[in-house]
Structure 1
Amino acid sequence: MKVKKVVVPIAGLGTRLLPATKAIPKEMLPLVNKPIIQYIVEEISKAGFEELIFITHSSKYSVENHFDTSFELESTLKNRVKRSLLNELKAISSLSINISSIRQGEAKGLGHAINCAKNIINNEPFAVVLPDMLLREKKLGFNLALMKKAFEKNSRTSILVAETSKKELSNYGVVEVKRNNLQKELFEVLKIVEKPSAKKIKSNLFAVGRYIFNDSIFSYISKVKPDKTGEIQLTDAIKLHLKEKDSVDAFKLDGTFHDCGDKIGYLKAIVEYALFDKSIGKDFKTFLKKYEK
């Protein structure tokens, strides 16, 4: 069955980046000349999805506005003959994907946020993309497109995973896999643990914020009990999925990632994206040399 829809939860308050995110959604923080969320939406569009559903919050109206047409600004740029900027602006609102949004009434975790999209998903398979995790790929949308293509052949739930240090693993959903049964970069998931303590970590792989599910995930979410913070975790729903002997595939990330919901991750992304930017990369590299030891 074709996977057409993507759920992107953006209702989080960005507490790790306060006070910068007090009045500005973390998804709208800039990387060179684009907000983080634009890179995410471009990735989804390039991967071949047709419909994007934001799970949002009342404070995030600027995210939706960013992908709308700005008639006044476009008119001003046209009158001032700023053709390059005008084309960039038009490209945002003309991305080949339909965008809608649903409010998450309560901040009750990622599982709860995904469940808000149940009615609009309407018994179809769908992807989930977490906007904190920015991917640098050899081809934009490559990993998500690969997962999409595989699901459309085998209908198996899939998770994108990446390697990171043991120190960092405690911040994420750690994924244990059976390594030698499928392909070099495709594994069978054995176990997933949300933010384990260092002593309990048995894998160097974590979920990097790209998933594809059958609509059966909603039945698992409905069975999840809130954790000690009162949140419904998506990881716990995937655990139930595995417990029912439903297969889950792990695709290893081809590329690199930046966790832009974290201060150091966001700063690393700024540096890397600036260095690879065609218009400023050379000058920025020269600037950075001043700080070499």
Structure 2
Amino acid sequence: MQRKVTKAIFPVAGLGTRFLPATKSVPKEIMTLVDRPLIQYAIDEAREAGIKEFIFVTSRGKGALEDYFDCAPQLEQTLREKGKTELLEAVEATNMESGAIAYIRQHKAMGLGHAVACASRLVADEPFAVILPDDVIAGETSCLKQMVDAYQETGGCMVAAMEVPPSKASSYGVLDVKEDMGAMVSVKGMVEKPAPGTEPSNLAVIGRYILTPDIFTNLKGQGEGAGGEIQLTDAIATEIAKGQNVFGYRFQGRRYDCGSKAGFLQATVAFALERDDLRDELSQYLEELVVARRAAE
């Protein structure tokens, strides 16, 4: 039996330039899908997977993100006095227990691998998860929970994997598959953003990882990779070269790329349509919109 995964790193230091000017003053991670910020979806997924300690790698200008997880006594008291129980419960669910959450500053934007390395002292010698909030994954069982359950059988390192069209493979880290076992694949190599036509497969790495602390040793001695940044996939590839087990996990669920405007809008519509209080009105509006567009063509 493997050690339980109870710590997760959330790299949230990015500037969110694709969402300017909104992200000039609002961290991208607290932009909302319906009525919950991106980061709340990531936290809820981690909690479902059994994560107890949450490590945020941040940067200057992320104060609002830190405040989001703090208690709001005045707001909570007002809701309590007005008998708004449902809203009060929703607000209290965002509070994090003292000591459960930690913040580390990444002073220079040097890539995902560098962001993860910034948290090495807090992780120490335990296996840990990495969650990228930009990737919102909807499913009956959360993606990370699926991976944690599988990890208990396999150990090693594990990455979430999703099939993508070959034309889009150059935007991802791509797996070189050793053996395909269905939901799980063993990996013999990883290539970060391969040149078009050189991708070893169509299995792309998505923003969920379960890693061993050996990754920190690899990152420490690692130079710059694709894009002039320190790449996490390169550190995982080093584990493969050392003969360690690395797996890709085909998760069950729908992934939304909320790092792009189109993906963010798609997720907003999809999550809203799952809500009993929004479904009917929104569905009617979308149907009317489609009819109006067709009539105008």
Judged with a 3 Å threshold, the aligned counterparts in structure 2 of structure 1 residues 230 and 203 are, in CA distance, closer, same or farther, namely: closer
The answer for the alignment partner of 2:169 in structure 1 is: 169
Distance of 2:248 and 2:108 partners within structure 1:
30
TM-score (norm 1): 0.93
Judged with a 3 Å threshold, the aligned counterparts in structure 2 of structure 1 residues 97 and 30 are, in CA distance, closer, same or farther, namely: farther
The answer for the alignment partner of 2:22 in structure 1 is: 20
Offset at 1:223?
2.1
The answer for the alignment partner of 2:78 in structure 1 is: 76
Report if aligned partners of 1:31, 1:273 keep a CA contact under 8 Å in 2: yes
Report the residue type matching 2:284 in the other structure: T
Counterparts of 1:268-283 in structure 2, within 5 Å, are 268-283=266-281
Kindly report the root-mean-square deviation, in angstroms, between the aligned alpha carbons of the 2 structures.
Answer: 1.8
**Residue number among 30, 34, 37 corresponding to 2:36 in the alignment:** 34
Offset at 1:56?
0.7
Distance of 1:62 and 1:92 partners within structure 2:
13
Offset at 1:229?
4.6
- Structure 2 unaligned blocks of 5 or more: none
Distance of 1:257 and 1:62 partners within structure 2:
26
Q: Give structure 1 regions of 4+ aligned residues with deviation exceeding 6 angstroms.
A: none
Q: Among all aligned residue pairs of Structure 1 and Structure 2, give the percentage whose two residues are the same amino acid.
A: 38
TM-score (norm 2): 0.92
Q: How many residues align?
A: 289
3-state SS of paired residue (1:112): helix
* Residues 1:227 and 2:229 aligned together: no
Deviations 1:38-74 (A, max 9, x none): 0110000011111110011121111121111111111
The answer for the alignment partner of 1:113 in structure 2 is: 115
Report if aligned partners of 2:135, 2:256 keep a CA contact under 8 Å in 1: yes
**Residue number among 241, 245, 248 corresponding to 1:250 in the alignment:** 248
Counterparts of 1:116-127 in structure 2, within 5 Å, are 116-127=118-129
The answer for the alignment partner of 2:192 in structure 1 is: 194
Deviations 1:94-129 (A, max 9, x none): 589922111112111111100011111111111111
Distance of 1:64 and 1:178 partners within structure 2:
42
3-state SS of paired residue (1:274): helix
3-state SS of paired residue (1:21): helix
Report the residue type matching 2:170 in the other structure: S
* Residues 1:133 and 2:161 aligned together: no
Distance of 1:202 and 1:229 partners within structure 2:
19
Report the residue type matching 1:107 in the other structure: A
Offset at 1:228?
6.5
Report the residue type matching 2:152 in the other structure: E
Report the residue type matching 2:91 in the other structure: L
3-state SS of paired residue (1:7): strand
3-state SS of paired residue (2:40): helix
